[in-house]
Structure 1
Amino acid sequence: MTAIQNQYKFTEGDVHLFKIIGFTEIPDSEESFFILENPFGGKHLLKSIYYKQYNLKIGDTINCTIDKINCSGKIYLEPENPYYKQGVIYEFEVIRIIDQTNSVGENEKVILVKDSLGRENRCSLPDNISSSQIKQKIKCKVVRIKKGVLYLIYPEMESTKKLLQVGKIYSFTVKEIKNLDGIDYYILNDDFNNSYSLKADMYKQYNLCIGRQVNCTVTKFNTDGHLKIEPEHPYYKVGRTYAFKFLRIENDNNLLDKDSKVIIVLDVYGIETKVSPYKPEIFDKPMPEYLHCLVEGVRKGKAILSIL
């Protein structure tokens, strides 16, 4: 699977310059957003509450990472942290050690640390590190930043657990189906016996079963510091064009454009999928029975589409 792109040819993980051109508040709520403009003139919203300590202001031009492009093509941005860079090891003040159940249902020790902005962040500890070995300060590696929160790992885990590389495709084996908080997950293992989880109801059409091997792309780090994966779609290939049955047009929940609409199509498995048309003139004429859409990526078992 190739990296997910959108109409601006943005790719998840890429960094681009954005200009802050405005600020808006949502009536009858406490939500407020910065309005950002991309290099092509497109507008994006950035929720301000996560970045109060970044000192952002109208007129600034800032670097933002394309953190996520969702199933309907919506872009989520992550502005550059003023103190921390992804991939760099820093020293943090230790707050305390707690127990947690991670994304694959395993119990593990987690250390809470304080960053330079006073925020609490979590870092999973490897099994061979005891609580008594932890001092007042600890070095952790920043592997991702989302909504201003640092995703951290203990540096030695990269070698002891043989962490896979984000963006690469590997073979995984389905080991079991596990119920976590009332939800069924497929648990897959890589060749180094590291575990990963997939929400079962999102992959019904994949015919996953215990013992089956499946190729997956390592997509990013989860909130608990463990890696996330996305299996290859059983039918659609990224970069190819397919015919999708048109169902209907819906109003889009777009705060920047009250008249924004999305097209709903049906995929080969009968799953409804949103498509954001990047040319509004498409609505000026009747919709055909089938729309030819480009598969730009796959997320949570669904194809991410654009209309040609």
Structure 2
Amino acid sequence: MNKQNQYKFTEGEIHQFNITGFTEIPGTNESFYILENPFGGKHLLKAIHYKHYNLGVNQIINCTIDKINCSGKIYLEPENPIYKVGEIYSFDFIKIVDQINSVGEKEKAVLVKDQFGMEISCSLPAGFILKESKQLKCKVLRIKKGVLFLSIPETDLKENSLEIGKKYCFKVAEIKKLEKNINYYILKDEHESSYALKKDMYEHYEFKIGQGVECTVTKYNTDGHLKIEPVHPHYQIGKSYRFKYIRTEEEKNPLGNKEFVVLVKDIYGIETKVRSNLTELKTDFPDYISCKVDGIRKGKAILSLVLN
């Protein structure tokens, strides 16, 4: 049996959600707001990230579908009470710092403070001269877990000229060890800006140094640099394919509610979880089942069941 009235969300969409409850998980320090979407589905929002939002039960809030992970789990981002994505605001200047960005490059950054008193690092481009001032204007690129991702408005030229959601050609420049000594592919765009892809997630893509790769620009990283997702070598978004059925698993969310996840194997032998909307354990699937590719994330297809 499937849950009724299920809506298939897409990253970037904005919907109204009703805060129907608040719960603390016994034996942990975790607490969650319980949100209901317009179609009757329930979602959990980790409270610790939004203490400064003054959220409350029975409040109706706008949320962006911030992320849908490889197994179809949805992550929400509530509307910030002060800051809007794409707008420019004045922030209190704290100091200049050194940092290593998401592609392993040393760079200067400015530390600023927002109206909630939260300190935020904002990347500075090479050669940028910062005028002495108690305040600095920054553009809000993205908001995640209540934290602002910022850029200097004057630098919206090279990397930021790429549009989120559009495809561009990148070149595989090198393989480089970054955080925790893990290998990453470093790709470059036509402006020589760099992008990092974790190598073990894309082994089946068989990238070669110097190869041109078509990628979609997906979103901003924590350091204000853009993230990309290569076009999958086999699966196309929006199309349905047959996947080898492995098993159905029963999972529990932090509230203890049951969820049923179907585990399948793709053409490369990679196991993928499919969030099924089943209300009871179903194991009598055929050897191969039809799934629709809703997206690609970190080299894996995000799938939904195609049930008759």
CA distance in 2, matches of 1:261, 1:225: 36
Counterpart residue number, 2:3: none
CA distance in 2, matches of 1:90, 1:58: 30
CA distance in 2, matches of 1:263, 1:285: 9
Q: CA deviation at 1:152?
A: 0.2
Counterpart residue number, 2:60: 61
The share of aligned pairs that are identical, in percent, is 59
CA distance in 1, matches of 2:230, 2:30: 35
Letter in 1 for 2:207: L
CA distance in 2, matches of 1:210, 1:249: 40
CA distance in 2, matches of 1:242, 1:258: 30
Counterpart residue number, 1:4: none
RMSD: 1.3
CA distance in 1, matches of 2:252, 2:188: 38
**CA offsets 1:62-121 (integer angstroms, 9 cap, x no match):** 000100011111110000000100000001001111101101111100111100001011
Q: CA deviation at 1:285?
A: 5.8
Letter in 2 for 1:144: R
**CA offsets 1:31-50 (integer angstroms, 9 cap, x no match):** 00000000000000000111
Q: 1:291 to 1:38 in 2, by over 3 A?
A: same
Number of residue equivalences:
300
| Structure 2 unpaired stretches of 5+ | 1-5
- TM-score, L = length of structure 2: 0.94
Counterpart residue number, 1:194: 193
2:89 is aligned with 1:123: no
SS of 1:159's equivalent in the other structure is coil
Q: 1:161 to 1:263 in 2, by over 3 A?
A: closer
Q: CA deviation at 1:156?
A: 1.4
Q: CA deviation at 1:160?
A: 4.9
CA distance in 2, matches of 1:114, 1:271: 43
Counterpart residue number, 1:172: 170
SS of 2:156's equivalent in the other structure is helix
Q: 1:189 to 1:284 in 2, by over 3 A?
A: closer
Counterpart residue number, 1:3: none
CA distance in 2, matches of 1:89, 1:236: 39
Whether contact under 8 Å (1:157, 1:163) holds in the other structure is no
Counterpart residue number, 1:220: 219
Q: CA deviation at 1:11?
A: 1.3
Counterpart residue number, 2:287: 289
Counterpart residue number, 1:151: 149
Q: 1:212 to 1:39 in 2, by over 3 A?
A: same
- TM-score, L = length of structure 1: 0.94
SS of 1:274's equivalent in the other structure is strand
Letter in 1 for 2:151: I
Map 1:9-28 to 2 at 5 A: 9-28=8-27
Q: CA deviation at 1:250?
A: 1.9
Q: CA deviation at 1:161?
A: 4.4
2:113 is aligned with 1:114: yes
Counterpart residue number, 2:33: 34
Q: CA deviation at 1:253?
A: 4.0
2:50 is aligned with 1:75: no
Whether contact under 8 Å (1:176, 1:188) holds in the other structure is yes
CA distance in 1, matches of 2:53, 2:183: 39
Q: 1:152 to 1:162 in 2, by over 3 A?
A: closer
Deviates more, 1:284-293 or 1:82-91: 284-293
Counterpart residue number, 2:265: 266
SS of 1:56's equivalent in the other structure is coil
| Structure 1 unpaired stretches of 5+ | 1-6
